[in-house]
């Protein structure tokens, strides 16, 4: 048997690791388009960007691990096509590899700016090791940075660059940072946090042009202002990397469509991680989730399926973000909430609990790890909670959750 895995990041590496842990004794080939050893992506906008994490600590596994586990790791290798009839993948060098089972773990790729000046020197994105290294190398000559985008990546980049002494302006084309991801209370807290640290946050403002001869000098916004910049970092979202899947006729919608066992409409092809669109068993809707947790847990599911121990995916989503001294922890998905309860335990901490009527569906916490841990434990049961008690920071959060009735979303 031969399992070929395309993409060697959080999802692909974990799939290989779990296949061996579950007793898969066939051949495993793990293919990466990138030149460096498979690495953790979250530090790219945090400790690695700030130069407080040495490169060796980025690697998901040491090089020797792949040899020890008999995993054939192919770096700097692009898969350019899949032939489902012959069960082969085609590599960019023309070579073909036969598979019995194929796992697509191709992740997501950054959405690029399409405004004038977007190709000037000094315009960066932050998705992979090469992007982060490029930013780090350019930084010594940089004083002023304009970050375009107020999602997690933009905000983390802003915090890291500010910590490194740069003058940072963040242009956000919506009313508030994290607008589509969180509630106004959390956004306000984050805005204040950045402002206290000296970052200029400009909302309701779209970048329309980047100026400069060869090197960026400013960003022009739709409010008519010019924001001086020696560097632009754009964090304007990602799109699922599903061209291999669509190119061979697999079903694709917002990502590669898979069932609860991570299987596509071809019984020999599976897909996991950021590139996948799947029906979530608790939220009962199709989702594409961009997180390490999701990539890792889907990798476990596919390994169990391939080792004849099938167990449908039922993990609950969680995520984190670090900005200055604030640790954001998010569990569940708040989209569609009808009520939000805010719990403030101190000046530097906040939690927002999201409800659909009386059922808790998600929580965002900032420096409130206890609330996060308790909520994360109970959230899959969608507990019904007393909102007044939850808002009272004097009542221990665990007392409120213990014994709460369970529900389900219909
Ligand atoms: C800067 C940054 C910070 C983040 N911070 C957090 C965080 O704090 N918490 C969190 O939970 N998540 C965070 N994320 C998101 C998290 O990193 C992703 O959800 C996770 O990496 C998804 O893993 P994946 O394996 O599905 O895809 P990816 O990590 O996107 O990896 C896909 C890999 O497949 C390769 N590939 C694609 N196509 C081919 C091909 N045809 N041939 C060969 N190889 C191919 C790509 O080059 C890439 O290496 C962050 C992401 C970034 C970029």
- What's the CATH number where 199 sits? 3.50.50.60
Residue 21 token pair: 């842990």
Domain assignment present for residue 312? The answer is no
Number of domains in the chain: 3
Shared-domain flag, residues 77 and 96: yes
Shared-domain flag, residues 6 and 144: no
How many whole angstroms from 218 Cα to the centroid of ligand 1?
30
Nearest to 290 by CA among 241, 249, 336: 241
Band of the pLDDT at 380, cuts 50, 70, 90? confident
Shared-domain flag, residues 363 and 388: yes
Q: Which of residues 195, 210, 234 is at a domain's end?
A: 234
For the chain, what percent of residues have pLDDT higher than 90? 93
**244 Cβ below 6 A of ligand 1:** yes
Shared-domain flag, residues 243 and 142: no
How many whole angstroms from 355 Cα to the centroid of ligand 1?
30
Per-residue pLDDT tens over the stretch 54-111: 999 999 999 999 999 999 999 999 999 999 999 999 999 999 999 999 999 999 999 9
How many whole angstroms from 105 Cα to the centroid of ligand 1?
9
Per-residue pLDDT tens over the stretch 244-264: 999 999 999 999 999 999 999
Domain assignment present for residue 319? The answer is no
pLDDT at 407 over 80: no
Q: Which of residues 217, 234, 251 is at a domain's end?
A: 234
Candidate from 9, 97, 158, 288 with most ligand 1 atoms within 8 A of CB, to mutate: 9
Minimum-distance ligand 1 atom for the alpha carbon of 293: 11
CATH number at residue 383: 3.30.390.30
Tell me which residue range forms the domain holding 193.
112-234
Per-residue pLDDT tens over the stretch 266-299: 999 999 999 999 999 888 899 999 999 999 999 9
Domain assignment present for residue 313? The answer is no
The reported pLDDT for the residue numbered 284 is 87
**153 Cβ below 6 A of ligand 1:** yes
The reported pLDDT for the residue numbered 402 is 83
């Amino acid at each position: 048997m031969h399992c070929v895995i395309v993409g060697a990041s959080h999802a692909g590496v974990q799939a290989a690791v779990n296949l061996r842990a579950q007793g898969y004794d066939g051949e495993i080939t793990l293919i990466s388009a990138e030149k460096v050893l498979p690495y953790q992506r979250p530090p790219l906008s945090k400790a690695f960007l700030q130069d407080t994490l040495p490169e060796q600590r980025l690697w998901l596994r040491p090089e020797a691990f792949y040899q020890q586990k008999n995993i054939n790791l192919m770096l700097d290798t692009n898969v350019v096509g899949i032939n489902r009839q012959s069960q082969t993948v085609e590599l960019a060098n023309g070579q073909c590899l036969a598979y019995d089972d194929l796992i697509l773990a191709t992740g997501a790729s950054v959405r690029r700016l399409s405004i004038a000046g977007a190709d000037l020197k000094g315009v960066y994105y932050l998705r992979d090791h090469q992007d982060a290294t490029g930013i780090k190398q350019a930084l010594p000559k940089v004083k002023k940075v304009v970050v375009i985008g107020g999602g997690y990546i933009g905000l983390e980049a802003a915090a890291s660059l500010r910590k490194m002494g740069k003058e940072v302006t963040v242009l956000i084309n919506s009313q508030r940072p994290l607008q589509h991801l969180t509630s106004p209370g959390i956004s306000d807290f984050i805005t204040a946090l950045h402002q206290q640290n000296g970052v200029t946050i400009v909302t309701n403002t779209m970048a329309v042009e980047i100026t400069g001869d060869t090197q960026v000098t400013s960003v022009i916004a739709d409010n008519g202002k010019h924001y001086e910049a020696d560097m632009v970092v754009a964090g304007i979202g990602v799109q699922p990397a599903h061209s291999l899947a669509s190119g061979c006729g697999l079903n694709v919608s917002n990502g590669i469509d898979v069932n609860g066992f991570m299987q596509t409409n071809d019984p020999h092809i599976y897909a996991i991680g950021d590139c996948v669109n799947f029906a979530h068993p608790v939220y009962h809707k199709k989702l594409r989730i961009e997180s390490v947790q999701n990539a890792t847990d889907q990798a476990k599911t596919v390994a169990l399926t391939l080792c004849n121990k099938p167990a449908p995916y039922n993990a609950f989503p969680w995520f984190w973000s670090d900005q200055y001294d604030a640790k954001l922890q998010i569990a569940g998905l708040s989209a569609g909430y009808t009520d939000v309860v805010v719990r403030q335990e101190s000046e530097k901490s906040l939690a927002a609990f999201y409800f659909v009527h009386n059922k808790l569906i998600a929580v965002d916490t900032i420096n409130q790890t206890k609330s996060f841990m308790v909520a994360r434990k109970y959230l899959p049961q969608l507990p019904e909670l007393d909102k007044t008690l939850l808002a009272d920071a004097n009542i221990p959060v665990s007392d409120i959750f213990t014994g709460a009735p369970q529900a389900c979303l219909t």
